[in-house]
Structure formats: structure tokens, C-alpha cells
Structure 1
Amino acid sequence: MHGPEPLPEVASATTPDPRWGFGAFLLVEAILLTSAALVLAALGPVPAGQPMPVGHVLIGTITPTVVAATAAVLITRVRGNGPLADLRLSWRWSDVKTGLKFGMVGLVCTTVGAFVWTEIVGEQNASSAISALIEDQPMSVTAAVIMFLYLWLLGPICEEIIYRGLLWGAVERLNWGNEKWGRVAAFLLSTAVFAVSHLEPLRTTLLLVISVPIGLARLYTGRLLGSIVAHQMNNFLPAVAILLTTLGIATL
């Protein structure tokens, strides 16, 4: 690794400044929370003592994040130069390779962090929100594969668009004196907000550990693809574990 690469051509000095900032990110966060509440209300209450139906789990998990990420992309098209320029979203094999490297580091950090965290809080309090939802609830093969693909591939894309795309871009464009400090500030704030936004207070410290290598991939490459790949790499083993659990092959 030889330091951050130049930003892609779509983000050159000739590209007009986007007409969105923190307000856009706050709007997307509001859309995320509101859509989650609306989906839960539309699905209706779950009878006491009964597990949440599989369909409800899938819809409630996937829909809000996809809706929010779609809103973020639309904002860049309406108020900016589109996601390729505004979110630094471009394809480079070098970014994929860098993302895989940081993702491997993230897997190690996540594994060690999860072990330590479980020892501190106990197994009953160490599970993620999604793990708690699907615990002891077998799914059909189709539903299990959909959940696996979301947790491994689609979810990271959506979350990266929101936090290390939209939020990162809003922070980076503030007047920090030079580009370096803007990128560092974007890394620090997006890392913290990403961890807190999962709304799992007990796991916030662990989520910070998980978030750091992903953010470093974004910081190092200067583009979003690196952090997307790192996030997907980091999510792969947990997604496999949940897949095996929902198929009744293993237990979390």
C-alpha cells in the first residue's frame, strides 16, 4: 500500500459542487427510520410469545435500508452530479483488491472483538438484532438465501452509500483548511455515526471496531468501492453463520 490514490476523474475540479450537504444525510436518516416504522406498522403486531414471521423479518430488515439508499442516490441526481461523482462511486480493480485486504483485517478484528465482547457481556447479550430475530426460527431455502445475499452483498452497498457516500461527502466538503483533514474528519464522523445508527447500544463499541477497517478502505482509496468491498468481506462469515442457522444446520 502506497497511500491514497488520486480521486476519480468524475470528481475533478471541473465538476460543479453538489447542492446537498448534511441536510441530505439527515433527510435520508429520517427516511430510514420512518420507513422502518411504517413497515412495522403495515405488517402488524406479532402475537405475544410468537416469533416474527419470516416474511416480516425479510421485509422489515431489507426495505428501510434499500429505500434510504435509493433516496440518497436520487438526491445526488437531483441536487448534484449523480452518484458516480458525488459519492466517488467508480469501478477500479485496485479498489476491489484494497477492499479485500481491509476486509480481511476487518474479519480478524470482528472475530477477536466479538469473542472479547461475548466474554464481557455474555452470550445472551452479545447477539446482533438480526441474529436475535432469526434465532430458533428456521427459514425456507429461498428466504434464507435472500437474507444471506442481503447481509453479504446488498446491505453493505446500501449502508456505504448512506454513511461513507452521502455523509462522508457532506463532511469532506466542509472548510477544513486542506483536503487531508477533510478526509480524516469524514472518516472519524462516519465511523462513529455508522456504529451508533444501528441502534444497538450494547454493541456500539463492537460496531466501532468493525467500522474502522471499512472506513480505512474508503480513506485509503478515496472512493466508495473500496469500503463497499471491505464491508461485504467483513459481513461474509456472519452472513454464512446466519444462513446455516436459518436452514437449521447450525446454531448461533
Structure 2
Amino acid sequence: MLSPPPHRRTHRWGLGAFLLVQALFLLVSVLLAAGFGSPGALSLVVTLVLPTLVAGGAAVLVTLVRGNGPRVDFGLRWHWQDVRTGLAIGGVGLVSTMLATTLWMRWMEPGDAGSAVSGLLAGVRLPPALAVLIFLHIWLVAPVCEELVYRGLLWGAMERMRWSQLNVFVLSTAIFAIGHLEPERTALLLVVAIPIGVARMVTGRLTASVVAHQVNNFLPALGLLLISLGLLPG
């Protein structure tokens, strides 16, 4: 007698959960900016790091309350194949991002060329420990949190609506670029996001997109580290 096919565990969150996490990110950012007033080095670091951590943690909490946890719902597991895929696609994405950034900076006015993070840290000399913390956050931690929100929570919400993988990829990529709230850099962020989304789509799991995102963030994070330490001009 044949055994019945295994039942696929599904989650119970939708786009409302994603919007709630986004609103939480903005609320924490605004409260920190208002609460610190004239920010010093430490408060700048907290303002940069804490909202991202809160958003990533909230995305995980949604999966625990309304789903099966991030391992099942996001495929957030350690697979060497996913790591290799993320490294390969991330490497290609890094090259395309560097080319796109070079072209984009030629078109933009000098004062509009930096990201929101570089603008926040402009002219600020950080102590070495805080500079390294920012470097590690931008390179390793922020990609995990952003992937939990965009290629995890948002991706899963659209999959639950039975949209095709191509539509999910296209819309999540666009929302990722727009969701950074940097209108001048939206086109550049689209270039950044495409290979990261491809890594998520071809593997069906979040691990590959996290690795691809980390590969893409390494050089910008290193540049900010050197600028923050005064080793490169701002």
C-alpha cells in the first residue's frame, strides 16, 4: 500500500506582515533620530544598526508566530551548495554593481553620489572599535536582516498568493530598491538587487541570497571602514 505524499507545511502570513515590519523599521529609525538630537559617534552607530536588527528580528518572529520558523519557511539552512551558489552569483553581481556604480557616479552630482549610510557618516571620525562594528554590520549582519525581510517575509507572502516565481522575483527586487528610500539611487539598487534575487530564485532558499548579498556589500563596507578611520578621503 502506497503511503500518502508528505504534507507541505505552509505559513499563515501575508503582505500585511511585511508592511508591519517595514513600519516598525521606520518607527525605530525616526524615534532614534529624534531621541538622540545632536548625534555623536556612538549614537550614529546605534541609529544605523538597531532599526535593521529590529526589522530582521521581527521577520523571524512572524515566522515563529504565524509559520514554521525561518528554517522551514525561508529555507535558511546551511547548505554548501547554497553557499557556493551565493558566492558565484554574488561575485558576478559585484562586478556588475561596480560597473553600474562607476557609470552612475559619472551621471550624478558629487553631493548626490553617496548612499544614505555614507551620508550619515560623512565627516565623522569613528573610534576603531565602532568603525569595525559598522564594517561587520554592513558586510555581514545587514544582509541577513534585509534578506529576512525582503527575500524572506515579502517573498513568502507573494508565494502564498500563488504568484509565479518570476513575478515574485521581479516585484521583490523592485520593492527592495524602492524600500531603501533613496530615490536618486533606486536604479543602482535595482542592479544590486537582481543577482541577489536570482540566487534566491534558483535555489528556492534564503541562504544563497544572504551570501550573494554579503559578497556585494563587502567592498562598500570596506570603503566606509577606511573612510571612518581617516585612511581614505570621504
TM over 0.5: yes
Deviates more, 1:115-124 or 1:143-152: 115-124
**Within the alignment, does 1:14 sit opposite 2:1 as a pair?**
no
For residues 77 and 184 of structure 1, the distance between their equivalents in structure 2, rounded to whole angstroms, comes to 27
Letter in 1 for 2:171: L
Aligned to 1:84, which of 71, 86, 91? 71
> Is residue 164 from structure 1 mapped to residue 157 from structure 2 by the alignment?
no
Gaps of 5+ in 1: 1-11, 47-51, 177-181
| Distance in 2 of aligned mates of 1:109 and 1:190 | 19
Partners of 1:136 and 1:203 lie apart in 2 by 21
Task: State whether structure 2 residue 174 is matched by structure 1 residue 192.
Answer: yes
Counterpart mapping for 1:1-252 below 5 A: 14-43=7-36, 45-46=37-38, 52-176=39-163, 182-252=164-234
State how far apart, in whole Å, the 2-side matches of 1:94 and 1:207 are: 26
Deviations 1:94-150 (A, max 9, x none): 100110111111111111111111111132211001111222221111000000000
In 2: Cα distance, 1:172 partner to 1:128 partner: 31
Q: Percent identity?
A: 48
Instruction: Report the AA paired with residue 202 of structure 1.
Output: E
Structure 1 residue 65: Cα displacement: 1.0
Deviating more after overlay: 130-139 vs 190-199: 130-139
Contact 1:172 1:185 in 2 (8 A): no
SS of equivalent residue, structure 1 residue 91: coil
Task: List, as ranges, runs of 4+ consecutive aligned residues in structure 1 with deviation greater than 6 Å.
Answer: none
- Equivalent residue of 2:216, what SS? helix
Amino acid at match of 1:138: R
* Whole-Å separation in 1 of the counterparts to 2:6 and 2:183: 41
Supply the RMSD in Å over aligned alpha carbons. 1.3
**182-191 vs 232-241, which deviates more?**
182-191
Please list the CA deviations of residues 161-209 of structure 1 after superposition, one character each: whole Å capped at 9, or x if unmatched.
0000000011112134xxxxx2111111110111011110000000001
Q: What stretches of structure 2 of length at least 5 have no aligned partner? A: none
TM-score by length of structure 2 reads 0.95
Amino acid at match of 2:7: T
